[in-house]
Every structure is written in C-alpha cells, then in structure tokens.
Amino acid sequence: MHKAKPGYHTLKKFAEYAIGNGVIVSTSFGAYGYYSYLDRITVGKRNINSNNGAQFSDNKLGICHIIPTFLVRKPSLGYKKKPLVRGSDIRYTVPNQSIIKISLTRNADVRLYGTTENSRGIAITSDDEILIRPSRRTAKIIRLNYDRT
C-alpha cells in the first residue's frame, strides 16, 4: 500500500456501457450549453440562466450521457459490476488531467462532432477509439462586455 503524496490524486478507472443518443465531454466553459441540457429539459430552455445551469470548476471535465435508456458503470480492478446507474449519475465531472477513451461495442450510424469544421461530423466505427486527454497548449479567452442599447 502506498501513502498518497500531497497533491496526488488516486487513480480511479471505470468503464461505462450505455445505450443512448451519445455522450458529451465538456470543459467548464461549455457547461451552460452542453452539460446543462438536463436542466433545460427539466425546467424549460427559457428558464435557464447563469444561476441555475449546471456549473463545475475549471479544473474538471464534465461528462454527460444524452438520453440514455441503459447505463451501467463497472469499476476496474475486479470489482463487481455496479447496478444500473441512477438518473443523477448520467452527468458527472472528472479531473481535467483524466484520460478518457470512448469506443463502440457495435457498429451503428455514429458521428463525432465538435472537433472538425465538417457539419456532418466524422463517421465512427467499432474499430475506432476516441481519446480525450489534456493538451499541452492553453486557450486564452477574452470576454467582451458591451451594452446593447
């Protein structure tokens, strides 16, 4: 057994198996648009504002399954399979240094959006693996405040 060093995060591996319309991986910057879709369904799109949309810190990534009809989370290291995931578990965060691998268990009409200028997305098959990991580069975002009057 190893003692944790200060600032050291325990490695937690798990696999999720889902049947649904997709999965969203979002930074905190995109949380109001993508990660908050559950809130939009629950309270209505017009009622979402900066005070009641889903929020998480900049050092996290948000993962949100899109309308899953079946979702099971299986921890690694020989743990028993967890029962079906509760509705509140379809959206969660992980540390932004996490490495996320997404793959299909069977072929279907699946497309990857948000990483290309192609509005039709990139076709994905069961032979493909989508790898999401930290970048060495940092994005700089400038917020412009303006008055519409």
Q: What is the pLDDT of residues 106-130, one digit of tens each?
A: 888 898 887 667 778 889 999 999 9
Does residue 56 belong to any structural domain of this protein? yes
What whole-number distance in Å separates Cα of residue 107 and Cα of residue 19? Answer: 13
Distances (CA, A) of 24 to 36, 65, 83: 10, 6, 22
Does residue 69 belong to any structural domain of this protein? yes
Does residue 40 belong to any structural domain of this protein? yes
Query: Residue 36 corresponds to which tokens in the numbers above?
Result: 């908050």
Which structural domain range is residue 78 located in?
Answer: 14-97
In the chain, the number of structural domains is: 1
Length of the chain: 149
Does residue 140 belong to any structural domain of this protein? no
Does residue 121 belong to any structural domain of this protein? no
Is residue 62 exposed (0-12), middle (13-18) or buried (19+ Cβ within 10 Å)?
buried
- For the chain, which residues score pLDDT lower than 50? 1-9, 48, 50
Does residue 23 belong to any structural domain of this protein? yes
- The pLDDT of residue 41 is 72
